[in-house]
Amino acid sequence: MTEHDEIPSMFSGMLGIIRRDLLLAWKRPGDVLNPLFFFAMVAALFPLAIGPSPEQLQFSGPAVLWVAALLAMLLSLNSLFLSDYEDGSLDQMLVSPLPLSALALGKSITHWLTSGLPLVLVSPIVAITFQMPLSVIGVLMLTLMLGTISLSMLGSVGAALTVGLHRGTALLSLLILPMAMPVLIFGARTVSLVAAGDGVAGGLYFLGAYAVLVLSFIPFATAAALRISNE
Amino acid sequence: MWKFIHKLASPPHFFRIAAYIIPWLVVPGLLLVGYATYAGLFLAPADYQQGDAFRIIYVHVPSAYLSMMAYMIMAVSAGIGLIWRIKLSHAVAAAAAPLGAWFTFLALATGSIWGKPMWGTWWEWGDPRLTSELIMLFLYFGYMALRGAIDDTAKADKSSAVLALVGAVNVPIIHFSVEWWSSLHQGPTLVKEGGPAMDPAMLYPLLAMILGFTFLFGALLLRRVRAEVLFRERRTRWVKEMILSGGQ
């Protein structure tokens, strides 16, 4: 057996990270559930603040759900690399012969599976309380699906830059929120436009294109940021 | 040429050369801004639609242009610093950020003051360019906050460089998405096909103001970079020798 055979392929390394992180999330369900409760609660704050008028709720529903989803995604980002940083597995990833960007992509994929996807699945329940018709809920789920992928990716750079800094979530939010504006704009506006009877394609195309863009270039930025943060 | 650039990248040389360049930027900058202030306030005719309120463009347009220019300078020099590991260009990026944030703020403030007589409100969310300037300001804040949060200068340089580069890729996307979102800002008058749609008596002061602002921005930037270099090199011999000899 040569030396090279012992190194797992890039793909299996990534799958290994995904499997491990999913297992960790399964063992600590609170980390997955808390952002979901947060999402539902923030969404519940708005009807209480705006008032129960169905027209107004219907009008503000897409915006409220999208803002709540954005904040819920931010909430879970802080811990993306934290436990790896604390128990030393991040150092193992840094010295591993596999490309760090592939491992970072694995981390982002798991982050999306444990925070983005559950949000997409829970959103219809919250959307119904905002009097959203079924056809619009479908669009909401689609935009959230594409949008949360981008948010997971963008967030991983921010999490990588701030790992090991004891300044907490405020700094991370300051870094990520301005970059997340296009996702929010297209996500929320597409749902509002559909609710008003407009076409859906433009917004979805943009969200899809943006997701592809960040999927292809953010892992490299995250890897660079991880290396810098752990020098 | 390359030798000159390499020489310039060394802190002591830069420190000396910048001191010579600054007056050459300050004097024409002040002259241009002085002329443009006078011409903009007294020589340019009032706009047939906007009256005297239009005169705020003489501050608004140069500030808006510099807010973007500063971000470009910041991102490009951060990238150069990250790729070729030139310490001086990290110092340039660090010095450019607060200046850029300030010009962004000026553009927002003047835009909002202009908005009051034109649109009847201090702040109009429907205006895409005002909104993307606001997001730009947040980008600057994020950059400076990240820099401030990291104590080690070398690490702060590299981390913030990654952020600046990711931000630079995002800036056009943000701009485009905000534009799609809504549009109320008056169409471009300066940069468009068939030349600027503006009376020469209004146009020349504006061009002079843009040029003057750029000169002064360059002078301020060089001054800030000099201060930054001096602080970063405070433990080196050349700084000690310079101070002991009492010179610049």
What's phi and psi for A200, nearest 5 deg?
A: -115, -20
Check the CA dihedral B237-B243-B246-B248 and report its sign. Answer: positive
Q: Across B165-239, where does the E strand assignment appear? A: none
Q: What are B51's strand-pairing partners?
A: B47
> Looking at the partner chain, which of A178, A221, A225 has a beta carbon nearest the beta carbon of B138?
A178
Greater pLDDT, B125 or B27? B27
CB contact under 8 A, B146 and A218: no
Across the range B100-127, mean pLDDT stands at: 87
Decide if pLDDT at A3 tops 60: no
Nearest CB partner across the interface for B174, out of A182, A189, A231:
A182
Give the minimum alpha-carbon distance from A23 to chain B in angstroms, rounded to a whole number: 31
Report chain B residues whose CB lies below 8 A from the CB of A218: 166
Q: Given this model, what pLDDT does residue B24 score?
A: 93
Contact present, B218 and B70 (Cβ < 8 Å): no
Cα of B24 to nearest chain A Cα, Å: 37
pLDDT reading at B108 higher than 90:
yes
Q: From CA A39, how far away is CA A36, in angstroms rounded?
A: 5
* Contact criterion met (CB below 8 Å) for B101 and B144: yes
Q: Any alpha helices (H) in chain A, and if so which ranges?
A: 3-6, 10-27, 29-50, 54-77, 82-87, 89-95, 100-111, 117-129, 134-162, 169-195, 201-229
- Which pLDDT score is estimated for A1? 45
pLDDT value at residue B187? 58
Q: Whats the size of chain A, residue-wise?
A: 231
Please write the tens of the pLDDT for every residue from A170-221.
Answer: 889 999 999 999 999 999 988 888 888 777 788 899 999 999 999 999 999 9
Q: Are A165 and B149 within 8 A, CB to CB?
A: yes
Q: What is the mean pLDDT of residues A93-112?
A: 92
Tokens of B248: 């610049």
Gap from B153 CA to chain A (nearest CA, Å): 12
Amino acid in position B194: G
Q: Supply the pLDDT for residue B179.
A: 79
Least confident of A9-13, A163-167, B3-7: B3-7
Give the gap in angstroms from C-alpha A154 to the nearest C-alpha of chain B: 9
* Tens of pLDDT, residues B195-214: 666 777 788 889 999 999 99
Q: What does the pLDDT average to over A19-45?
A: 91
Determine, for residues A228 and B139 on separate chains, whether the beta-carbon distance falls below 8 Å.
Answer: no
Residue A189 confidence (pLDDT): 87
Question: Which of B90, B225, B244 has the alpha carbon at shortest distance from B162?
Answer: B90
The per-residue pLDDT for B194 is 58
The CA distance from B203 to B188, in Å, is 13
Residue B184: predicted pLDDT: 45
Task: Note whether A123 and A70 are within 8 A (CB).
Answer: no
Q: Which residues in B36-56 are b (16+ Cβ under 10 Å) and which e?
A: bbebbeeebeeeeeeeebbbb
Sign of the alpha-carbon torsion through A155, A160, A166, A167: negative
d(CA A10, CA A102): 7
Q: Please check the confidence at residue B50 and state whether its pLDDT lies above 80.
A: no
Residues of A in contact with B173 (CB under 8 A): 182, 210
Please tell me the predicted confidence (pLDDT) of residue B193.
56
Dihedral in degrees, nearest 10, Cα atoms A114, A120, A125, A126: 100
* Euclidean distance between CA atoms B182 and B112, whole angstroms: 17
Quick: pLDDT tens for B29-41. Answer: 999 999 999 988 8
Q: What is the pLDDT of residues B155-195, one digit of tens each?
A: 999 999 999 999 998 888 888 888 777 644 555 666 655 56
d(CA A164, CA A171): 12
Percent of chain A with pLDDT over 90: 56
B162 contacts A178? CB cut-off 8 A: no
CB contact under 8 A, A161 and B181: no
How far apart are the C-alpha atoms of B110 and B115, rounded to whole Å? 8
Tell whether the model's pLDDT for residue B63 goes beyond 90.
Answer: yes
Model confidence at A167, pLDDT cuts 50, 70, 90, reads low
pLDDT at position A227: 93
* Mean pLDDT of the region A150-168: 89
CA-wise closest residue to A66 among A74, A77, A56, A78: A74
At residue B13 the predicted structure's pLDDT band, cuts being 50, 70 and 90, is confident
Contact (CB<8Å) B138/A174: yes
How does the average pLDDT of chain B come out, rounded?
Answer: 86
B161, closest residue in chain A (CA to CA): A225
ipTM over 0.90: no
Residues of chain B contacting residue A174, judged by C-beta atoms under 8 Å apart? 138, 141-142, 145
Q: Check A175 against B174: CB less than 8 A apart.
A: no
Give the pLDDT confidence score for residue B1 in this predicted structure.
Answer: 67
**Minimal CA separation from A173 to chain B, in Å:** 9
Write out the two tokens for B93.
């990026």
- Supply the DSSP symbol for B122: S
Residue A201 confidence (pLDDT): 81
Q: What percent of chain B has pLDDT over 90?
A: 46
pLDDT at B86: 87
Report the SS3 class of residue B47.
strand
